[in-house]
Amino acid sequence: MNEMSPLHKRTVRTPDASPVNLSRRGFLGASLGALVLGVSLTPGGRALAQGAAPAIVPGTRVNAYIQIQPDSTVLFRSAFIEGGQGIFTAMAQIVGEELDVDPTQFVVACAPPGPDYTLIGGLRFTGGSMSVRMSYETMRKLGAAARRMLLEAAATQWKVPIAALTTQPGRVIHAASKRSIAYGDLAKAAAALPVPSNVPLRSRKDFRWIGKPVARIDIRDKSTGKATYAIDLKVDAMLYGAVQHGARLGMEPDALSNEDQVKAMPGVHSVHRLPGAVAVLASSWWRARRAVETLEITWTEAAPGSTVRVMPADYSSEAHLDDLKAHTGDGLAFETHGAVGPALAGAARIVEASYDAPHLAHAQLEPPSAIARFNADGTLEVWAPNQAPEMFQADAAKVAGIAPEKVILHSPILGGFFGRHFLYQSANPYPQAIQLAKAAGRPVKLVWTREEEFLRDALRPMGVARFRAGLDASGMPVALSAVAIGEGATGRWFGRTVDKVDSSAVEGIAGKVYAIANRRVGQIHVDDPAIIGFWRSVGHSMNDFFYETFFDEMADAGKQDPYELRRRLLADSPRHRKLIEAVADLSGGWKRGPFTADDGTRRARGVAMASPFGSEVATIVEVSLKDGEVVVHHVWVAIDPGSIVNPAIIEAQVNSAVALGLSSALLEEVIYENGVPRARNYDGYPILPPDRMPKVHVRIVESGAPMGGIGEPGLPGVPPAVVNAASVLTGKRIRSLPLSRTSLADAAG
Amino acid sequence: MDITINGQLHQLDIEPDTPLLWVLRDELGMTGTKYGCGLAQCGACTVLVDGQATRSCVTPLEAVAGSQVMTIEAVTQDPVGQKVVDAWVAQQVAQCGYCQSGQVMAATALLKQTPKPSDEDIAAAMINLCRCGTYNAIAAAVRHAAQA
């Protein structure tokens, strides 16, 4: 995913900066004296500037982000969407630090589409654990520029030099005359000033909020049912929609044998055929759902030349896994060091193993929904959960057959995402909502049932990896050859070059930090017939499991302790060595076991390292076995993201990533049979329940390295550490996830 | 049909087998109670019916006629509910927040019946799913509320 930007930059439109006249007075009148410069955002999201507009530099125009209200609270438009990762609070901390406004005084919402917000190399998405690290400096400068404008406005009003002024949170102070004025009272005057550049930033030692465990700004609303998600929204005169999809992707609806009966059901407005689905519109969602599920639909094969990806009727997860395993060879090289062939040939001992991991569903708790409304002025308004507003806006425009600037996209907070809400063909409900609103001539709110969501989610790809290592006579690894077999999500959605490896397919096997002199990582691309997508930590979610469990196999074959072997291979990498020692220390000192715990259970520990999304992570897990299942008691995580903004949010995100990583290791797999997923709800696709949540212990290490990500990095180390620990107890290596596939017996009986 | 929700009587002309969840959300505009699975698997739709934690997605409207229904919208009007919400804030439980209405209602039901729950009581009562994995914070918040 780190290579996403160059891949899809080619396909992105350049921002249209064509000049439009705009009355500053009229705009300010409309904005109730909020701090805004003489520019505004049109409903369509394009920024309009006065006169001949210079090219917009993302993240520089104060007005696009900050509106100080008359009561001095700050309405902040975030380039990134909140979905539980705490980004709205992080934005309030970072901007508030420089603006001198307490984060509690911020109201944050996701910004509309527009060139002001494309902070990730000219693009915008919430993903890749990039939000804070890609915007940190820019957001500080923005806050500092806004504060400077408020100071200038006060200096003019009081006729004093600006150097005589200071600020306290939310106020400008003139100490000499003991005067002070609230930001809200200066907002209008500040609006007339140009945005200053190169305003000095606050010194790190003076930070009040950055780096501190600031309380999240959205917690009370989320604890009282007041937080509003896409599924909670309502617009006037809307109809509710529910759909039934063809179970196998690519099938099209043909005859509806009981259409008249369904049309006569209570509250039913109309029945609609859509590409790959049938919809019912009704006066309430429950009526729509009941009606659409009553429909008797004959499904036919897709027409030749269908643009929809067609799932083969004989597709099964089992057969696809066999197919991946059947591919031989070393694949296209992605990463090479030294000469792995000769080193393997000269090795004292060869270790080989093959691993696999299944398709996974996102299973976020909020089912996808969308509202579409065509307005009298020719615009289309869409409310839809999304991680990439500009991409959704462009696609919605295509669906509606109108220009992108005619699409007003609203991005409500997300009831969980984990990669679910990118633009995936056939996996988003908003195209259906747009088509239905057009057909009905009324606004439509479409909600997918949990069952339709499990049918059409974009899955974490299935993967296989094969390893061959050479050990020297003392048991030290001297060569490692790995090949990842499957397809990466980045290549699927942002373009794959035939002779180039998609990094999302190999990340976590490539980019490892151990000093093994000769190594090669290759990839064999195999098309995945399923709709695949980004799933929290992307390729790392399975590749670090493959690599780090094979690492323990190498250690065992060479009669080395797996923790000590890692330390030895990190001898020249102080950052990583310090981190693995930190996690060992956090866990009370490394001990692999087996050992007997106070409660009499026989336990063991496993360790793993990962380098995902610019951060470094070391993980230790303690497990026992009970009734053939793994019980995870403790997870210790040391994470080095370089530098941090909010340690409390980091701890929460590590807890969350541990839960999802553990869930994938223990329980999760999407199983296809005859081209159709077997599970359609949580009863068939169990996710981690509360009674399987371990204690999680987190240590944050700030090495001062460039800032890394937080949302995803806690995940990849968990599955390998769990499996490494379990393998100590079973005495047998486990090479396939999830563990629920296998009844695990303790070797000690 | 006459239904009492948060102490207020509502006269509703709806098919009596409509799940309570959808009456709350679509008919009454009370969207704090969430749809997650529709099968009583996840608990995002938990409300209190005569003080009992109840999954409203599988509870027909007719089953609650004559009962007292309490939803997240009224939770802070209840002294125990207020303590639970304060504990949820103090422990910074929520991440995406989508399941938390149901979690808060489940905790409120527990503490109304068992003011000083053991860890086993908490584990037995707090069984709603959370995809963000806030389970440890939830358990801590329930203990916090019990001590408040």
Q: pLDDT tens-digit profile of B103-128? A: 999 999 999 999 999 999 999 999 99
Q: Bigger pLDDT: A11 or A170?
A: A170
**pLDDT reported for residue A54:** 67
Q: What order of strands is seen across the sheet that includes strand A463-471?
A: A332-337, A518-525, A477-486, A463-471, A349-357
Contact B27 A284 (CB under 8 A): yes
Please check whether the two domains, A230-302+368-447 and A327-359+460-741, share a CATH topology.
yes
Contact B39 A450 (CB under 8 A): yes
**Residues B81 and B137 reside in one and the same domain:** yes
Domain count, chain B: 2
Segment A701-712, tens digit of pLDDT: 999 999 999 999
Give the minimum alpha-carbon distance from A266 to chain B in angstroms, rounded to a whole number.
8
Contact B131 A687 (CB under 8 A): yes
**pLDDT reported for residue A309:** 87
**Residues B87 and B116 reside in one and the same domain:** yes
Segment A602-656, tens digit of pLDDT: 999 999 999 999 999 999 999 999 999 999 999 999 999 999 999 999 999 999 9
**Residues B79 and B143 reside in one and the same domain:** yes
Q: Give the dihedral sign, CA A298/A303/A306/A309.
A: positive
Contact A285 B26 (CB under 8 A): yes
Mutation for testing the A interface, residue in B12, B98, B101, B119 having most A CBs under 10 Å: B98
**pLDDT reported for residue A53:** 60
Sort out which chain B residues have CB atoms less than 8 A from A219's CB and list them: 88-89, 92-94
Cβ-Cβ contacts under 8 Å for A633 (sequence gap 6 or more)? A597, A603, A622, A623, A624, A694, A695
Sort out which chain B residues have CB atoms less than 8 A from A231's CB and list them: 31, 34-35
Q: A249 pLDDT exceeds 90?
A: yes
Copy the structure tokens of residue A60: 């520089």
Segment A267-281, tens digit of pLDDT: 999 999 999 999 999
**Residues B89 and B51 reside in one and the same domain:** no
Q: A39 pLDDT exceeds 60?
A: no
Can you tell me the mean pLDDT for A445-469?
98
**What percentage of chain A has pLDDT greater than the value 70?**
93
**pLDDT reported for residue A659:** 98
Q: A46 pLDDT exceeds 70?
A: no
Domain assignments of chain A as residue spans, ordered by start: 4-223, 230-302+368-447, 327-359+460-741
Using pLDDT thresholds of 50, 70 and 90, give the confidence band for residue A749: low
**pLDDT reported for residue A25:** 29
Segment A507-566, tens digit of pLDDT: 999 999 999 999 999 999 999 999 999 999 999 999 999 999 999 999 999 999 999 999
> What architecture does CATH give domain A230-302+368-447?
2-Layer Sandwich (3.30)
Closest C-alpha to A671, from A459, A490, A505: A459
**Residues B37 and B85 reside in one and the same domain:** no
ipTM greater than 0.95, yes or no? yes
**pLDDT reported for residue A153:** 98
Partner residue facing B132 (CB), from A656, A681, A695: A656
**Residues pairing with A623 in the sheet:** A604, A632
Report the distance separating Cα A73 and Cα A68, nearest Å.
Answer: 6
Cβ-Cβ contacts under 8 Å for A345 (sequence gap 6 or more)? none
> What architecture does CATH give domain A327-359+460-741?
2-Layer Sandwich (3.30)
**Residues B97 and B139 reside in one and the same domain:** yes
**Residues B68 and B42 reside in one and the same domain:** yes
Chosen domain end from B19, B42, B73: B73
Segment A364-392, tens digit of pLDDT: 999 999 999 999 999 999 999 999 999 99
Chosen domain end from B73, B108, B135: B73
**pLDDT reported for residue A302:** 86
**What percentage of chain B has pLDDT greater than the value 90?**
99
Nearest chain B residue to A239 by CA distance is: B26
**pLDDT reported for residue A748:** 83
**pLDDT reported for residue A16:** 34
Partner residue facing A222 (CB), from B31, B44, B97: B97
Using pLDDT thresholds of 50, 70 and 90, give the confidence band for residue A305: confident
**Residues B138 and B80 reside in one and the same domain:** yes
Sort out which chain B residues have CB atoms less than 8 A from A660's CB and list them: 131, 133
**Residues B17 and B38 reside in one and the same domain:** yes
**Residues B140 and B91 reside in one and the same domain:** yes
**pLDDT reported for residue B1:** 87
Q: What does the mean pLDDT of chain A come to?
A: 92
Q: Give the dihedral sign, CA A327/A330/A332/A336.
A: positive
Contact B26 A284 (CB under 8 A): yes
State the CATH number of the domain containing residue B79: 1.10.150.120
Can you tell me the mean pLDDT for A406-426?
97
Contact B97 A218 (CB under 8 A): yes
Residue B98: which domain range?
75-147
Mutation for testing the A interface, residue in B18, B20, B37 having most A CBs under 10 Å: B37
Report the distance separating Cα A388 and Cα A395, nearest Å.
Answer: 11
Using pLDDT thresholds of 50, 70 and 90, give the confidence band for residue A308: confident
Using pLDDT thresholds of 50, 70 and 90, give the confidence band for residue A55: confident
Chosen domain end from B38, B73, B108: B73
Contact B31 A232 (CB under 8 A): yes
Of the listed ranges A5-9, A173-177, A541-545, the one predicted with least confidence: A5-9
**Residues B89 and B61 reside in one and the same domain:** no
Copy the structure tokens of residue A171: 């106020």
Nearest chain A residue to B77 by CA distance is: A224
Q: Do the Cβ atoms of A279 and A245 come closer than 8 Å?
A: no
**Residues B81 and B67 reside in one and the same domain:** no
Segment B57-96, tens digit of pLDDT: 999 999 999 999 999 999 999 999 999 999 999 999 999 9
Topology (CATH level 3) of domain A4-223: Aldehyde Oxidoreductase; domain 4 (3.30.365)
